[in-house]
Amino acid sequence: MNKAWLIRRVAMAFLTIIITIIISWVLIEYSPNSPANALLTNLRVTEASNPKFAQIYASELQFYNDLVPHGNPVIEAFNYIWQVLHGNLGLDVISEEPVTTIIATSLPWTIFIVSTSLLISFFLGIRVGQKMGYKRGSKVDSSLTTFFTLLRSIPLYISGALFLFILGFELHWFPTGGAYSASITPGLSLPFIVSVLYHAILPISTLTLANLAGWALHMRANTIYTLGEDYVSFAEIRGVRDKLIETKYVGRNALLPLYTSLIISIGFSFGGSVFVEEIFSYPGVGNLLYYAITNNDYTLEMGIFIIIITAVVVGVLLADLTYSLIDPRVRNE
C-alpha cells in the first residue's frame, strides 16, 4: 500500500470529522431554537405568571452561559474542537453530568442490538439474494422479490409497533421494555445474560427484518449482473463445478459492492435506531438522542453526533484500507 496515499487518506478522514463537527455545532448553537434561546423564551413567558419557574429557567440559563460562553464564533468553534480532541464533550445541560459518562452507559446496548441485527440480516440477505439471482424469473424468485419489496416499504416504526402490540401486550411472549429484568442484578451471570437476550429479541427482530429486504434485493441484482460476465461463461465452458462457480466466481464478486455499505452501516449503528429504541424503551444511544432532541439538550446532542460522525468516517476509512484484501484488482492498481 502506498504510504503517501495512506497518509493523505487518513488526513482527509480527520479533516472530514473536524469540519462536520464544526458544521453540526454551528447549526445547533446558532439556530433559532438553540438551547439558550429556548431557555430565554421560557424565562420570558413564565417570569410574570410564575416567579418560581422563572427562577429555575434563569438558573438553567446562567448554567448554560457558564458552560458555553458566547463570544467570537470562530474562537468558540476552535475552543470546542480543542475540548473534543482532548476527550471532553462537556457537561449535560440538564443533569450536569459528563456527556461521555452518559453516552458510555447507553452505547454498549445500542452496539449490541444494532450490530447483531445488521450482521444477521447481512449474511442471511446475501445468501437468500444470491439464490434468488440464480433462480431469476422463477416463481420462487418472483414471490421473494415481491415479499421483500413490500417488506422494505413498511416503515420501521410500524413493524416495531406491531411486534410490541401483538407479541408483547397481547400474547405476553416478550417483555415490552427495558434491557433486562429489574429483579436481576447486572453482572456476568447466566440469569443476567438470558434476561438481556430475552429483552433484545423484539428490537433485534425488528431491525433484522428492516435490513434484510435491502441486502437481499441488492445481492439479487448484483448476482444477476455477475452471471452475465464473460469470466462466468468461460468457467461454465471449462466445466468448472457449479458450486465453485456459485461461491468463487459469482458470490464473491457480487458481494464486493455490498462490502462498503456494510462497513458504513456498522458506523451508523453507533447512533442506534431512534424509533426502535423509543418504541421498546431500550436504553440505547437512539433513545438517548430522542431524549436530547425533545429536551433541547445541546451538549448531549453534540456528543452523540460526534460519536456517529467519527464512527461513520472511520468506517469508510477502514473500508478503503481493507477493500484491496478482498478485491485484488484494487491492490494491483
Predicted confidence (pLDDT) per residue in 266-280, tens digit: 777 776 678 888 888
Residue with cell string 413490500: 150
**List of residues 6+ apart from 9 with CB closer than 8 A:** 317, 320, 321
pLDDT for residue 120: 92
129-138, 194-203, 226-235: which has the minimum mean pLDDT? Answer: 226-235
81: number of CA atoms within 13 Å, CB side?
18
Contact 326, 259 (CB under 8 A): yes
Q: How many CB atoms lie within 10 A of CB 78?
A: 12
Q: How many CB atoms lie within 10 A of CB 275?
A: 21
pLDDT for residue 178: 82
How many residues in total does the chain contain?
A: 333
CA-closest candidate to residue 220, choices 135, 138, 129: 129
CA-closest candidate to residue 276, choices 163, 153, 198: 163
Angle at 212 between CA 211 and CA 218, to 5 degrees: 95
Any idea which architecture 107-297 has in CATH?
Orthogonal Bundle (1.10)
Residue with cell string 458450486: 243
3-state SS assignment for residue 181: coil
| Average pLDDT of the segment spanning 175-191 | 82
In the chain, what are the domain boundaries? 107-297
Higher confidence at residue 140 or residue 34? Answer: 140
Contact 217, 133 (CB under 8 A): no
CA-closest candidate to residue 109, choices 283, 312, 311: 283
* Per-residue model confidence as pLDDT tens digits over 277-333: 888 888 888 888 888 888 777 788 888 888 888 888 888 888 877 776 666 665 555
Higher confidence at residue 68 or residue 251? Answer: 251
Give the Cα separation of 313 and 16 in Å (integer).
Answer: 8
